[in-house]
Amino acid sequence: MSGDSLNESLIERLKQFSARPYDNIEIIRSVTARLHSQAASQDKLIRGKILERLCRKNTGVLGLILHLLETVKDQLTTCSLAGILRECVSPRIGKNRSPVIRQLIAINASQTLVKLLLQMQVKESNVPEILLQEILWVISQLAQRDPKFSLKARLLGAVKTFHYLLRMHHNNTRLIFPLLLIIKALSRNTYTTTVLLKDGIVPTVEKTLVTMGFSPSPKLKLCLSVLHHLSKNKSCCSRIVKTGLIPLLLRLVERWERYDGKMRIRICNHILVILQNICLSKLGRKTVIGNNGLQIMYKFCITCPEEKCYDPLLTRVCNVINLCLAKKNLPVDSHSSPAVFRLPYAKENTSEANGGSSRETSPDSEDESTEEFPEDDDDGVTQEENLKELPENKSSDYVPRSALREADDLKQYESFFQELRGPCVCSKMKCNSGSREITLKKSCSFDALMGESDLKKKIMEFNLTENTLHFSSAAYTGASQSHNSNCSTRNESKDQCIQGKSFPVDGGGENISESSSTLISQNNLMLKKDVAQTPNGRSLASSREMIKGLTVFENIPNYSTFHYAYSVIASRVNSVLPFVKVAYPDMMGSEGSGKLEPLNIKDRRTCRSKLLNCVERGLHPNQVMNKVVYDLDSWSSVDPSHRLINASEKVLFNMDERHLGSGEPEKRHLIFESRFESGNLRKAIQVGLREYDLILMPDVNSSKHHQWFYFEISGMETDVVYTFNIINCEKQNSQFNYGMKPIMYSVQEAVAGRSGWVRVGTDICYYRNSYQNPAGKYRTYLTTTFSLKFPHANDICYIAYHFPFTYSRLLAHIWKWSCEIDPSKIYFRAESLCVSLNNNETPLITLSAADSEENPLLKREIIFLTARVHPGESNSSWVMHGTLCYLLGDTAAAIKLRNRYVFKIVPMLNTEGVINGCHRCGITDEDLNRRWSHPSQHLHPIIYHTKGLLEYCTKVLKKPPYLFCDYHGHSRRKNVFLYGCCNSESWNEADRSVPDNPVDYLMLPNLMKDLSPAFALSLCSFAVERNRESTARVTVWRQLGIKRSYTMESSYCGCDQGTYMGYHLDILHLKEIGANFCEALACLKEESQWQTELLETNKQGGRCEILSPGSQEDAASDSPDHSDSSEFDDEEYHS
């Protein structure tokens, strides 16, 4: 009989007699013994054939074996059956065990075997070791892959049993390995870890380690891995300290050079993670230091090999040293932001309304988190921002309660949809803003106190191009503490700002007199001769009507230049802390170079050197120069009322061009400044001749969210290297470690007509330092360090995290468009949706084709776009800028879009955060993208009223938007990608029971893949996660029923696939992404209809899959999710 025939015969006999196992025990024993013999055969051919037959899918053989294990009580038969299963799941070279293990998990093999083990422990005092070994081996292999294993073991009461077996057999060389694998699986779960700790697992692990000795082996590595997982529990760390394990661990580190190959790296890695977790406690640090730990770690640093594979070990060693050093606080008076805004209302308790915890830790969830934060989620939420977990009495499918409003309450938004009231009504451009319930404070008139001739003179001063000055009024500083309590002072104070005679200059006390206008030749002027016309020759009246709803534009002449308009607008902006200037790049409307700039290639040796230098500075702090050269705290400590009086006495100018080349020889250090719109730098400390430690300012009313930076530097030398260390970063990883460079703008280069913002920097790396972070999980901050050479001596340069896009710039572009648009072709209206907490207007843009009887606005569908809910994501504003420019263009696709849709666009959802240089939040210290489910009218007015517009479309107009998209930036991933919503991928069982059309959410990403070279389809996700319920994307999808609800993420860094692979994304490319998005929208409806019809046809023919979120060619887009924080997500941190 051939081998195949024999196998079939044995399996058939087993099936035949399994119906009555007690009556056929001898035959079953014989058959199972022969099957086990074949499966364990030394002949690879015989073993391979029988295992293939046993593991074949849908044959039910594995289920039959489990059934017999449950019913047969004969030890020999049980041993043979367990042996067969062990052979099926045992790791062998060239064998893929995953399908077999998945089959066994699907038929509850884990539960069956654990029950069997418990029965054996209770009923039989002397279980044969061979039987115990076989069962434990199978359970250990399943435990590593079964996500519910910890829950099953806990419900069966088997956790203590496994610990008992480990305690009894800690010196049994055959049983110790599978037992450690099982304990490792249990230690990954919070609940089972607690049970193990209470049962005394730490002393058991100590005894096991002592028994194993110091010789490197897989068992030693596995035992340390168990301790690694256990040490994530604070209680466990304290027990490790008390049991005396630390000297043993340090001895293993001391002997690390005796280990070989990969085993050395893995063993050391586990030990260092354990020590790092232990050093998070004061007792742990004290014990490590007391056992000569610092000296051992420092010796490791000195003798660590240069190979790349040792870099992670060196990083961990430096982390342990930094943790053990004497407590070292940031050199600031307080970790809280110096920018404090008095909220008009107390914060509301919105945890239930906003969807519960951002990270689920339900009893059955496996806590696989490492010592680094898992990042950015699609919306980029941080662990610190996570909301409280749902109450225990809530069901697992609990959905946050809806906060939709009544139709009567939504009628206040009628004026924002005047174009949809009836045919051709909008051509009259009537703005009935008086009917709104949302009252707006009237902005001051910048030129109210000037005559026409005086006004022209002031405008002329803005148009100087050579050897003269550019007016640069900073965002007006009327937003001090007293301003917050009484916004009406805004008009009074600003009307006193301008006397029409002379204008004080920022910081220097100089004046620009009216006579300076005589220096301007007519060739340098951009003033229009006919002041009654815009640049395109049409009347001013239509231009004014387009922006009538935004009072910030009052009395800005249409013949003004961009930088004049920008400065006037900026002077009317309220900030929490007063500004002293407008940044030159923003005032001039500067952009990037437009070139493909390669990603940085990380120099490992340089990063090692910086890590070791950080350790040396921690060990010898007195050897470092500590000279404070810029301190925002000292200025912000001035009495607020006094600050307001000073601020209201002058309008500020930008003097960068005049100051070029004029250094201050008496100052032997760089000069810093960040008191301008979107600026962020709190303190600069000179620590070396040309090295500076920089401290970023947290978000307003907060002590965290340090990532965005934007500041000015002057007084530099040329052709020398300066090093900058930003020492209070929080994210656990950064794209600075993966090719990203900061950006720089040189005023001298700009005056010469060369590139604007460019990527700069060498020796860039990101690592943990020794400064204590009281708000952080791992207690110390991280450092972003880079070096650069300035192109000119005594230049004025601006350094930023990413290309800035300020609130004033957005308004200036809206003003510019209103002067250029032909109303006979384009319907364009900009108005204020509401005012922010600090009394700044929120622009709402309506854009479509001009109304006509053939194609009335009333019959067009609505597309709703938003951006910049996280102020640090300036790349989202540039993408939105590209979208707006494209929609206002004259391409065939743009005309088609305007004829088909009415676009409602809120281009900046977090105006206060952008103005005040925040990274994540606004002035309420809340992530506004976690407030969509239940926004507060008083604390989150922009979110509240934006959602109100969407509700008005859906409930009152009965015209739900055809598509909604929220633009974001991502700090941890490269490329551009979309997040959507799909019923079948929802966390909620009720959602999954409702079928949906995949074309609805897959069509747009597939179009973007074909149209945008930066787009990565493989990174797109359509999962609806529980911790995203309060984001814009999910709220709009769930509460308003908009199927095409998306988040579009753009990388701060660049691309690792496609045409732009290996390059940064410049402003030009970000605007191109916005244009590509419009191109995809232009053909979305036709493509969706065609694909839906094809899908129906294929369903009838048995094929259902038309589109997919990924393809073979996109599989290479394996952008690593360099997790930082809870980015750490970027729509939802971390972006």
Q: Is residue 628 helix, strand or coil?
A: strand
Residue 967 phi, psi (nearest 5): -85, 135
Q: 200 - beta bridge partners? A: none
CA distance linking residue 947 with residue 937, whole number of Å = 11
Q: State the DSSP code for 389.
A: P
Measured distance CA(456)–CA(444) in Å, rounded? 19
With H, G, I as helix, E, B as strand and everything else as coil, classify residue 780. strand
Cα–Cα distance for residue pair 14/60, rounded to 1 Å: 12
Q: Say if CB 133 and CB 175 are below 8 A apart.
A: yes
* Cβ-contact 925, 699 below 8 angstroms: yes
Q: Are 75 and 131 in contact (CB under 8 A)?
A: yes
Pairing of strands 780-789, 721-729: antiparallel
Are the CB atoms for 582 and 473 separated by under 8 Å? yes
Cβ-Cβ contacts under 8 Å for 656 (sequence gap 6 or more):
470, 472, 584, 747, 796
Degrees, nearest 5: CA angle 240-242-243: 65
Q: From the centroid of its chain, how far is CA 299? A: 37
Beta-strand relationship, 963-970 and 861-867: parallel
* β-bridge mates for residue 688, sequence order: 691
Backbone angles phi, psi at 684, to 5 degrees: -130, 130
Known active-site residue 1049: yes
Angle, helices 201-212 vs 159-168, to 10°: value is: 30
Q: Hey, which residues does 830 pair with through a beta bridge?
A: 845
Which contiguous run of DSSP H or E holds residue 273?
helix 261-278
Q: For 531-586, what is the HEC assignment?
A: CCECCCCCEHHHHHHHCCECHHHCCCCCCCCHHHHHHHHHHCCCCCCCCCCCCHHH
Contact by Cβ (8 Å): 586, 806: yes
Sign of CA dihedral 254, 255, 261, 266: negative
* AA letter at 679: G
Q: At what angle do helices 245-254 and 261-278 cross, to 10 degrees?
A: 140
Number of H helices and E strands in the chain, helices first, is 42, 20
Q: Which two tokens stand for residue 786?
A: 């880079």
Which residue is it, tokens 């300020």? 806
CA 836 to CA 909: how far, in whole Å?
10
Residue 840 tokens, joined? 């700044």
Q: How far apart are the first and last CA of the chain?
A: 64
- CA dist., res. 1043 & res. 997, Å (int): 9
The β-bridge partners of 906 are 866
1010 Cβ contact list (under 8 Å, min separation 6):
none
Joined together, the tokens standing for residue 369 give 């988190």
User: Which amino acid is it at 532?
Assistant: A
Task: Return the residue matching tokens 């979110």.
Answer: 943
Q: Residue 864: enclosing H or E segment and its boundaries?
A: strand 861-867
User: CB neighbours (10 Å) of residue 445?
Assistant: 17
Distance between CA atoms of 422 and 858, rounded to whole angstroms? 6
Q: Which residue of the set 206, 375, 873, 1049 is catalytic?
A: 1049
Active site residues: 1049
